[in-house]
Amino acid sequence: MMQLFYFYTMLIIPAIDIIDAKCVRLTKGDYDTKKIYNENPVEVAKEFEANGITHLHLVDLDGAKSGKVVNWNVLEAITQNTNLKVDFSGGIKSKEAAKQAFNCGANQIAVGSLAAKNKKEFVDWIWEFGEEKLILGADVMNEKIAVSGWQENSTQDIFSFLDFYFEEGIDYVLCTDISKDGMLQGPSFELYDKIIKEYEEIKLIASGGVTSIADLAALQQMGCYAAIVGKALYENKLSLKDLQSFLS
């Protein structure tokens, strides 16, 4: 009997992480491991766009750590100088900050800490802004939610967390396995597979550990809506040319 394989379309979303308005990367979310890759994030974003990229994951690491957005100027500069659809995160803790992110050109915002700490507030955001504008940030360590730029652990289980927001109508989930982030050792395939099978209607964005084309192909085959690519690009494990087969 012939076995059929189904190939899903999957967005490739490069990440730009910002500290002091510079493009950096961390390892496992540890701020002490900061490595600066480019002092002009707009240049990086333009290069992505020139190579066929349509979406960008922009993280204000200063904002994630301090609890309030710091690098508004970087968000605005990228959205004004490119046509990239930017999802923005890091320190968005109030409705006013969410509105400002959209006013600065963000296509979507990704919210993790507030969603974990104040469910009632985030549900209100879903009603006000709409599920198309919001991405639920689910950062996990050993299947437990972590918050505040991964500086705090919680006792919340990833699946009970997703259960709650699935019932509230959330569409997009950005899941990062902290143990994989920046390690260049492959994504958390088992976790993503469990999530996709449990919540078939959720658009799952896989983040952390993507190192090769094979990683991306596996995430695509299991049905991920999108995959974040970060350190592998900056460390030349993957090139923008390598991604062309996923961009056509």
**Rg over CA atoms, the chain:** 17
Q: Is 139 a catalytic residue?
A: yes
193 is catalytic: no
Q: From the candidates 60, 87, 139, 171, give the one annotated as an active-site residue.
A: 139
In degrees and rounded to multiples of 5, residue 229 shows phi and psi of: -120, 125
Largest Cα–Cα distance in the chain? 58
> At residue 189, what are phi and psi to the nearest 5 degrees?
-55, -45
User: Which residues partner with 203 through β-bridges?
Assistant: 172
State the catalytic residue, choosing from 17, 60, 62, 87: 17
In the three-class reduction of DSSP (H, G, I as helix; E, B as strand; rest coil), residue 39 is classed as coil
Q: Are strands 152-157 and 144-147 parallel, antiparallel or unpaired?
A: antiparallel
Q: Please report the DSSP string for 79-140 in residue order.
A: HHH---EEEEESS--SHHHHHHHHHTT-SEEEE-HHHHH-HHHHHHHHHHH-TTTEEEEEEE
Active site residues: 17, 139
